[in-house]
Amino acid sequence: MSHRIAVIPGDGIGKEVMPEGLRALEAAAKRFGIDLSLEHFDFASCDYYAEHGQMLPDDWFEQLKGADAIFYGAVGWPETVPDHISLWGSLLQFRRRFDQYVNLRPCKLLPGVKSPLADRKPGDIDFYVVRENTEGEYSSVGGKMFEGTDREVVIQETVMTRTGVDRVLKYAYELAQSRPRKKLTSATKSNGIAITMPWWDERVKAMGVHYPEVSVDQFHIDILTANFVMHPDWFDVVVASNLFGDILSDLGPACTGTIGVAPSANINPDGHFPSLFEPVHGSAPDIAGKGIANPIGQVWSAAMMLEHLGHPKAGQAIVDAFEAVLAEGDKAVLTPDVGGHGTTEALGRAIAERIAG
Ligand code: NAI
Ligand code: MG
C-alpha cells in the first residue's frame, strides 16, 4: 500500500528545510520498505498569493482531501502579505476543514542542545503537549456593541462541547497509556473560570474510568506554567484546552532550547481527513536565503508523520539519527542555532546518511 503525501513547502526557510525533511523521509522509507507517493503543491504560500491574489486555489479541499498526510514547511512573508491573511488563508483552513482536533507537540531535551533552564540534561525533559485544536476559547461566538461610546462592550464566549472535549481527552489518555510512565496532567483553571473549567475537570475524570493504568493529576494553568520551568521532569503527557494548550505548546519546546528543532502534528485521529505535520517555527525571514536554517524541526515532523501512518520503527530511526548527529557535535555539520557553522543541507545530509544505516 502506498501512502499519498501532499508536500507543501510554503515560504521562507520552509522552502529550505523541506528538501531535508524529504531527504530524511525518503531514507527512512527506503530502509523500512515503505511505499510513498509524494505530490508537490505550490499553494499555501505568499508567492502563490502574489500570483493569484489568494493563498489557496478554490478547489484546494478536493485536491488535498484524498492525501494520507500533509507535510508542510512554514507560511508567512509579512513584507508582502499580512500575517493574518497568510495564516488564516492557509494553515487555519486546513486545521478546521480537516478537523485536525489534536495539536501534538513533543517537548524533549536533545543531546547537544542547551536548555535555557539551568542544569537540565537530556532525559530530564521528555513530554508531550496535547492541545485541543478546534473549539474552546478560540470561538467566533460573541460580538461588540455600543462601539465608540462609554457603553462599549465586547463579548467572546468559550465554547466547549462534550464531543470536542471527550475526543481530545481520549487521545491524550491513549497516548499516556502507550508510554512507560503512563502519566497524564490536565491543565485547568477551575478556581477562576468557574463554569467551563470545573466541567472540563469532570470530563477528565469521566474519561479516566476507561484508563485505570494512567495516573492523572491537574494543575491550574498559572502554576502549571511555573512547573514547566521549575520541574519539567514531572510531566509525561499534558492535555489542555485550545488557549492553555497554545501557551503550553510554545513554553514546552522553549524549555528544550532552539525553536529550530521542534516539530508539531495537527491530527485528525478518526482518519476521515489528512493530518498535517510541520515544524513549530515559521518562515524566519531574518535568515531565509542564507541556507543556515536548522532542518531538524522539519525532519522530526517527518518522523511523527511516519509514526502516524503506522510506521513507528521508521519514525524512531529518524529520531535516533538526528539525536546521534547532535550528540556527535561536529561543528562543520551543525547549524549556527545549535552552535555550529554548517548549512541546512550539510545537517540534512548527515541525518539522512545515519538513517540509511
Ligand atoms: P519564526 O519562527 O519564523 O522565527 C523566530 C526566530 O527563530 C527568528 O529569529 C528565526 O531566525 C529563528 N528560527 C526559526 N526557525 C529556525 C530554524 N529552523 N533554524 C534556526 N533559526 C530559526 O517566527 P516569526 O519571526 O515570528 O515569524 C515569521 C513568519 O513566520 C511570520 O510570517 C509568521 O506569521 C510565520 N509563522 C508561521 C508559522 C507556521 O507556518 N506554522 C508559525 C510561526 C510563524
Ligand atoms: Mg502559538
CATH number of 197's domain: 3.40.718.10
Measured in Å, residue 161 CA sits from the centre of ligand 1 at 33
Residue 116 belongs to some domain of the structure:
no
DSSP 3-state of 153 = strand
Residue 298 belongs to some domain of the structure:
yes
DSSP 3-state of 198 = helix
Domain count across the chain = 2
The verdict on 190 and 249 lying in the same domain is yes
Residue nearest to atom 33 of ligand 1 (CA): 76
Whether the Cβ atoms of residue 49 and residue 81 lie closer than 8 Å to each other? yes
The verdict on 283 and 223 lying in the same domain is no
What is the distance, to the nearest Å, from the Cα of residue 65 to the centroid of all Cα atoms in its chain? 20
What the block records as the C-alpha cell of 332 is 562543520
Q: Is the C-beta atom of 79 inside 6 A of ligand 1?
A: no
Residue 114 belongs to some domain of the structure:
no
Average pLDDT per 10 consecutive residues for the chain, totaling 357 residues: 95 98 98 98 97 98 98 97 94 94 96 92 95 93 96 97 98 98 98 97 98 98 97 97 95 90 96 96 97 98 97 98 97 95 98 96
Q: Choose which residue among 283, 294, 299 to substitute to test ligand 1 binding: the one with the highest number of ligand atoms within 8 A of its C-beta.
A: 283
Per-residue b or e along 164-173, where b marks 16 or more CB atoms closer than 10 Å to that residue's CB: bbebbbebbb
The verdict on 185 and 87 lying in the same domain is no
Angstrom distances, CA of residue 27 to CA of 36, 43, 66: 11, 26, 24
Q: Which residue in 205, 214, 263, 265 sits closest to 237, CA to CA?
A: 214
Range of the domain at 39: 1-102+268-357
Q: Is the C-beta atom of 85 inside 6 A of ligand 1?
A: no
pLDDT of residue 104: 97
Tell me the Ramachandran region of residue 356: left when phi exceeds 0, alpha when psi lies from -120 to 50, beta otherwise. Answer: alpha
Q: Which residue in 297, 283, 219, 241 sits closest to 47, CA to CA?
A: 283
pLDDT of residue 353: 98
**Backbone dihedral angles phi then psi of residue 327, each to the nearest 5 degrees:** -65, -35
Residue 152 belongs to some domain of the structure:
yes
Q: Which residue in 214, 232, 211, 264 sits closest to 94, CA to CA?
A: 264
ipTM above 0.95, yes or no: yes
The verdict on 251 and 303 lying in the same domain is no
Residue 168 belongs to some domain of the structure:
yes
Give the tens place of pLDDT for each residue, 234-290: 999 999 999 999 999 889 999 998 889 999 999 999 999 999 999 999 999 999 999
The verdict on 247 and 130 lying in the same domain is yes
pLDDT of residue 1: 78
The verdict on 289 and 312 lying in the same domain is yes
